A and B are shown apart, each in its own frame.
Chain A
Amino acid sequence: MNIDPIHQFEVQRYADLLRVSGVSFSFTNASAFMIGIVGAIFLFLTFATRGRTLVPGRMQSVAEMSYEFIAKMVRDSAGNEGMVFFPLVFSLFMFVFVANVIGLVPYTFTITAHIIVTAALALLVIGTVVIYGFWRHGTHFLHLFVPSGVPSFLLPFVVLIEVVSFLSRPISLSLRLFANMLAGHIALKVFAFFVVGLSSAGIAGMFGATLPFFMIVALTALELLVAVLQAYVFAVLTSIYLNDAVHPGH
């Protein structure tokens, strides 16, 4: 019996693809799940929009709802010009959402519980903000760090704080998703081990084990909420940050 709540996050190497100066680029269970997630999204959207009926069926409704949901989110926080980023935000939302929900199925691997995955997603967002901001606005993008109406003797200090605040965005964006998924999955595993441990201690233990068992049922529902909510929060924050790239200067 393997009592190790971290075991579920172990990356298993399936095949070594290539080696560049000692660093191995290998195909792992994480890569397999990422491909599976992208494939699932692709199949779902292709299948759902295949009919293209005027009155949508069940599947087409779900696809249209997710489209309108994200489109409204982007338009609300980044305006109509922000809609150039709609494909990015939609892909990120679907990826994180499907990854979180798939991770709740027993025996699956939760890729969003790895900080390297969430950090890569967050860096993609911030990199887009910086590159698009400079490409679109040039040095005017730097006005993002200079709020108007600040007394001149405070300005250097405020600019410093603004820069640190901007740099903390990818950290908070990636840390939040990672910590939520990791903590939830560990909590589920710990309560599951309580059930196993207690029920091996005779009849009294069997009755005692029902308590953590109901806790697992409740926690699973909570984790489903967290999985959906964190995907939503990730997408909302992405569109809020992209708003800075479209409209720099407060």
Chain B
Amino acid sequence: MAFRLGSEFVAGVLVGALIGWGIDTVFDVAPWGMLVFTLVGFGAGVMNMLRAAGETGKKSGPKA
């Protein structure tokens, strides 16, 4: 299930960067939107990953 965790993390960063880029283009505040939201996305990715690991951990014991 390693691929599952990887994709959760990548998706978080991707969405963060995308939101940041959107804010940059709409409000014309480049590069601040992307800087801040990529970091937020990084945090969201880590949280996604921890949550996914918790779900698999609950089912199959601590070895996952």
- Tell me if B33 is interfacial: C-beta within 8 Å of chain A: no
- Tell me if A165 is interfacial: C-beta within 8 Å of chain B: yes
Tell me which of A172, A176, A179 has the highest count of chain B C-beta atoms within 10 A of its own C-beta: A172
Query: Which residues of chain A are within 8 angstroms of B7 by Cβ–Cβ distance?
Result: 172, 175-176, 179
A-B contact pairs, 22 of them (CB 8 A): A161-B40, A161-B47, A162-B47, A164-B15, A164-B16, A164-B19, A164-B40, A164-B41, A165-B45, A165-B48, A168-B8, A168-B14, A168-B41, A171-B14, A172-B8, A172-B48, A175-B7, A176-B3, A176-B4, A176-B7, A179-B7, A233-B4
Pairwise interchain contact A168-B40, C-beta atoms closer than 8 A: no
Pairwise interchain contact B11-A171, C-beta atoms closer than 8 A: yes
Q: How large is the interface on B (under 10, 10 to 19, 20 to 34, 35 or more residues)?
A: 20 to 34
Residue of A nearest to B59 (CB): A76
Query: Which residues of chain B are within 8 angstroms of A160 by Cβ–Cβ distance?
Result: 40
Please, how many angstroms separate the alpha-carbon atoms of A175 and B6 in the complex? 11
Residue of A nearest to B55 (CB): A240
Query: Which residues of chain A are within 8 angstroms of B19 by Cβ–Cβ distance?
Result: 164, 167
Residue of A nearest to B56 (CB): A236
Residue of A nearest to B11 (CB): A172
Please, how many angstroms separate the alpha-carbon atoms of A240 and B4 in the complex? 14
- Tell me if A49 is interfacial: C-beta within 8 Å of chain B: no
Residues in B lying within 8 Å of A, measured CB to CB: 3-4, 7-8, 10-12, 14-16, 19, 37, 40-41, 43-45, 47-48, 51, 55
> In whole Å, how far is A106's beta carbon from the nearest beta carbon of chain B?
25
Residue of B nearest to A173 (CB): B11
- Tell me if A128 is interfacial: C-beta within 8 Å of chain B: no
Pairwise interchain contact B10-A175, C-beta atoms closer than 8 A: yes
Query: Which residues of chain A are within 8 angstroms of B44 by Cβ–Cβ distance?
Result: 161-162, 164-165, 168
Residue of A nearest to B45 (CB): A168
Pairwise interchain contact B15-A167, C-beta atoms closer than 8 A: yes
Please, how many angstroms separate the alpha-carbon atoms of A25 and B42 in the complex? 38
Tell me which of B11, B43, B47 has the highest count of chain A C-beta atoms within 10 A of its own C-beta: B11
Please, how many angstroms separate the alpha-carbon atoms of A171 and B44 in the complex? 13
Query: Which residues of chain B are within 8 angstroms of A169 by Cβ–Cβ distance?
Result: 11
- Tell me if A199 is interfacial: C-beta within 8 Å of chain B: no
Given contacts A165-B48, A233-B4, whether A172 and B10 have CB atoms under 8 Å apart is yes
Please, how many angstroms separate the alpha-carbon atoms of A180 and B16 in the complex? 23
Please, how many angstroms separate the alpha-carbon atoms of A171 and B12 in the complex? 8
